[in-house]
C-alpha cells in the first residue's frame, strides 16, 4: 500500500508501479523474494540526489532507461504532447509550485512565486529567442496570472486546484482532491514529460524539474535553476 494506491484496480492492477510503468525484469515477486539479494524499503522518503554532478546524472539517466512508461500512459502522453506543443517552435518550459508557498517542507527547495518569476520569463523569452512558454501549474490562480503577463502561454487541460488549503496529511503536489490520485499522477507525469520536450527549462529545483532534466537526456539548449535555498 502506498499514498497512491486506489481502492479499485487501475487498468486491471492494484500494483501502483503497474499503473504507470513496465516491470524492469521478467521475474515475479515470488521469485525475487527467494533471492539472496533483496532490499526492502524501511518506509522512509529519502530526498532525490539533485546535485547534477556528471557521474550522478549518468547513473540516474541509465536507471531511467530501465523504467519505461506502460502502453496506456505512453499513448496518453503522446496524444497530449501532440495537442499542446506546436511543431518547430522554440518553447520555454516553466514548472511552478505555487501551492507549496503555504506549506513549509523541511529539506525541500524553496519555490519562487509566480509574481517573482514573470520578469525572469520575460527576460529569457528575449535572450533565448522563445516563441512559446509551457507552464506546469497545480493551481488555476497561477495559470490566470501568467495569462495576463506572458504571451503565447501553453498548458495542459487538466483539473487544477482552485483554492489551496494546507493539508498536513498530503504533500502539496497531491492536494488536488477533485480527482483520483491515479489521475493526479497521470497529469503530473504528462506535464513533466512535456517540460522535458521543451527547448529550454527555467525554475526552482524540485523533483519534477529534475525529472524533466533526466528525461530530456541533455538535449535542452538552456537550463536555468533559480536557487532560493532550502527549507530548514
C-alpha closest to that of 202 among 114, 143, 142: 114
Task: Give the pLDDT score at 230.
Answer: 87
DSSP H or E segment with residue 23: none
113/53 Cα distance (integer angstroms): 27
Task: Give the pLDDT score at 73.
Answer: 97
Residuewise pLDDT in 10s, the chain (232 residues): 888 899 999 999 999 999 999 998 899 889 988 988 888 888 787 778 888 999 999 999 999 999 999 999 999 999 999 999 999 999 999 999 765 555 667 778 889 999 999 999 999 999 999 999 999 998 999 999 999 999 999 999 998 888 755 554 455 445 566 789 999 999 999 999 999 999 999 999 988 999 999 999 999 999 999 998 888 8
156/159 Cα distance (integer angstroms): 9
Which residues are paired to 134 by β-bridges? 93, 154
pTM (two decimals): 0.90
136/154 Cα distance (integer angstroms): 9
Task: Give the pLDDT score at 170.
Answer: 52
Determine phi and psi for 66, rounding to 5 degrees.
-90, -5
Amino acid at each position: 500500500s502506498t499514498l497512491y494506491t486506489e481502492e479499485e484496480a487501475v487498468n486491471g492492477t492494484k500494483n501502483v508501479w503497474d499503473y504507470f510503468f513496465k516491470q524492469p525484469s521478467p521475474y515475479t515477486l515470488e521469485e525475487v523474494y527467494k533471492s539472496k539479494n533483496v532490499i526492502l524499503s524501511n518506509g522512509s522518503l529519502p530526498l532525490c540526489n539533485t546535485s547534477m554532478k556528471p557521474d550522478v546524472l549518468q547513473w540516474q539517466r541509465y536507471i531511467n532507461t530501465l523504467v519505461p512508461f506502460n502502453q496506456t500512459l505512453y499513448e496518453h502522453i503522446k496524444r497530449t504532447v501532440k495537442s499542446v506543443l506546436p511543431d518547430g517552435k522554440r518553447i520555454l518550459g516553466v514548472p511552478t509550485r505555487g501551492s507549496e508557498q503555504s506549506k513549509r517542507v523541511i529539506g525541500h527547495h524553496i519555490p519562487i512565486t509566480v509574481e517573482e518569476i514573470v520578469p525572469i520569463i520575460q527576460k529569457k523569452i528575449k535572450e533565448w529567442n522563445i516563441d512559446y512558454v509551457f507552464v506546469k501549474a497545480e493551481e488555476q490562480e497561477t495559470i490566470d496570472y501568467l495569462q495576463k503577463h506572458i504571451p503565447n502561454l501553453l498548458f495542459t487541460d487538466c483539473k487544477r486546484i482552485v483554492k489551496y488549503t494546507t493539508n498536513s496529511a498530503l504533500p502539496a503536489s497531491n492536494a488536488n482532491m477533485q480527482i483520483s490520485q491515479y489521475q493526479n499522477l497521470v497529469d503530473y507525469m504528462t506535464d513533466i514529460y512535456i517540460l522535458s520536450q521543451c527547448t529550454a527549462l527555467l525554475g526552482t529545483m524540485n523533483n519534477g524539474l529534475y525529472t524533466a532534466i533526466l528525461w530530456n537526456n541533455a538535449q535542452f539548449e538552456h537550463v536555468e535553476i533559480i536557487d532560493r535555498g532550502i527549507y530548514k
